[in-house]
Amino acid sequence: MRAEEPDSPGGDQELWARAADGEAAAFRELFDRHAAAVWNYAYRLTGSWATAEDLASLTFLTAWRRLGEVTLVNDSARPWLFTVAANLARRENRRLGRFAHALTRLPRSGVVRDHAEEVADRIDADRRLRTVLAAVAKLPKAERRAVELCLLGGLSSADAAAALGIAEPSVRARISRARSRLRGLLRDTDALEGLC
């Protein structure tokens, strides 16, 4: 999370309250503070640039609609925004799974695509990310949530603990167990870099 600048209009809780009172500039500041992190988190969860953009937009739309209903923890909107993005990503992954299943029933076309080096690199990176996401999806729910928030989302263990409603040592223990499981699941792949 970036450090607050001296002339910044306040912490996230203050901005959230002002936005809930109808101050659009306060919500714009919240967006400016967290949009890139939410997009990055959504990308790590989905492996798709376009889907990440959609999920980031939907996350902030949800925030706008729920300003008056939400209480922030630790003066940071990021854990709540990441939780919303993760829920939206799971919903999107279920939808895409149904769509992919429907596509398997269609006849294959004979279209041959040009695979430039940049496109191939991007596809390879997306493949590795999807491999990691598939392994993360196999983790027990408690470990998966900790991994999504800390390893994929970049939240501190303290922020993740607040978002999950558990003690910080529990988050660290879940991350440790998850890393061991992921090493086993991803042993024969090149997708493990940076995660464990």
Q: Please give the DSSP secondary-structure letter assigned to residue 66.
A: T
Topology, domain 117-196: Arc Repressor Mutant, subunit A (1.10.10)
CA distance 171 to 161: 6
Measure the CA–CA gap between 63 and 75, rounded to whole angstroms: 15
How do the pLDDT tens digits run along the chain, 196 residues long?
344 443 445 789 999 999 999 999 999 999 999 999 999 999 988 888 888 999 999 999 999 999 989 878 778 899 999 999 999 988 877 776 665 655 566 555 555 555 466 666 677 677 777 888 888 889 999 998 998 888 888 888 898 898 889 999 999 999 999 888 888 888 776 655 545 5
Question: How far from each other are the two terminal CA atoms of the chain, in whole angstroms?
Answer: 21
Ranges of each domain in the chain:
9-104, 117-196
Contact indicator for 195, 151 with CB cutoff of 8 Å: yes
Query: At 73, is the secondary structure helix, strand, or coil?
Result: strand
Instruction: Please give the pLDDT value at position 29.
Output: 96
* Choices 2.130.10.10, 1.10.510.10, 1.10.1740.10, 1.10.357.10: CATH for 9-104: 1.10.1740.10
Q: Would you say 29 and 21 are in contact if contact means Cβ atoms under 8 Å apart?
A: no
pTM: 0.57
Other Cβ atoms less than 10 A from the Cβ of 54: the count is: 15
Which distant-in-sequence residues (6+ apart) come within 8 Å of 125 by Cβ? none
